[in-house]
Amino acid sequence: MLRRFAFLFAFAVATVLPVSAQTKIGFADHEGILQVMPQMVQVRQVLQAEYTQRQGALQTQAQELQTKAEDYQRRQSLLTADVRQAAERELGVLQDSLQRASQMAEAAMRRREAELMQPVFQSLQNAIDAEAASRGLDLVLPTRISNDPLLLYVNRNTVVDITRDVAVRLGISLEAPAAAPAPTGGN
């Protein structure tokens, strides 16, 4: 859905803006820059550590459930109907608890990722804004969304790539082109 919206937005911009010859357009591979930002390394490390901790707690619960299920299977034929029903209810409660804990851990990780990424995104946006302002650009488009190309054609005489300059503003050196370089257009 986001990709479709982004494509439609880019198409609308491309069809409306050429009417004004004064409009200055740039593009940046923001995802490529994000991947090499030092803050991203820190975010990944924090998220990995927190994920490992949460997974450990979930595995402990899963092992407890597994142990009780195996014990129940071994003793099932020896149990009375009432005891068997109580054991099955307990196993069901443990299974439900494990599923809820897993869902809650996943939601907590998504919230934590958003929390940690917000300052990184803001830093990148500030650098894009500053570079666009310094060049007098009216519009800056992304080159891709989730590794899917967004810009299919770029006239390099009228549209400027600000990716490297944004990276420089962030103190990053892009030694190789970003993971998905912008398309080139011929003239």
Q: How many residues does the chain have?
A: 187
Query: What pLDDT does residue 61 have?
Result: 95
- Report the chain (187 residues): mean pLDDT per 10 consecutive residues: 48 50 86 92 95 95 95 92 94 96 96 97 96 94 77 79 94 67 50
Q: What tokens does 8 get? A: 């439609």
DSSP β-bridge partners for residue 28: 142
Query: What pLDDT does residue 75 have?
Result: 92
Query: What pLDDT does residue 2 have?
Result: 46
Nearest CA to 170 out of 115, 118, 130, 114 is that of 130
β-strand 144-145 against 148-149: which pairing, if any?
antiparallel
State the average pLDDT for the chain: 84
Query: What pLDDT does residue 145 have?
Result: 75
pLDDT in tens, 51-102: 999 999 999 999 999 999 999 999 999 999 999 999 999 999 999 999 999 9
Nearest CA to 98 out of 72, 67, 64 is that of 64
Alpha helices (runs of H) in the chain, residue ranges in sequence order: 2-16, 30-36, 38-75, 81-135, 163-169
Assign domain 2-6+15-169 to its CATH superfamily: Skp domain (3.30.910.20)
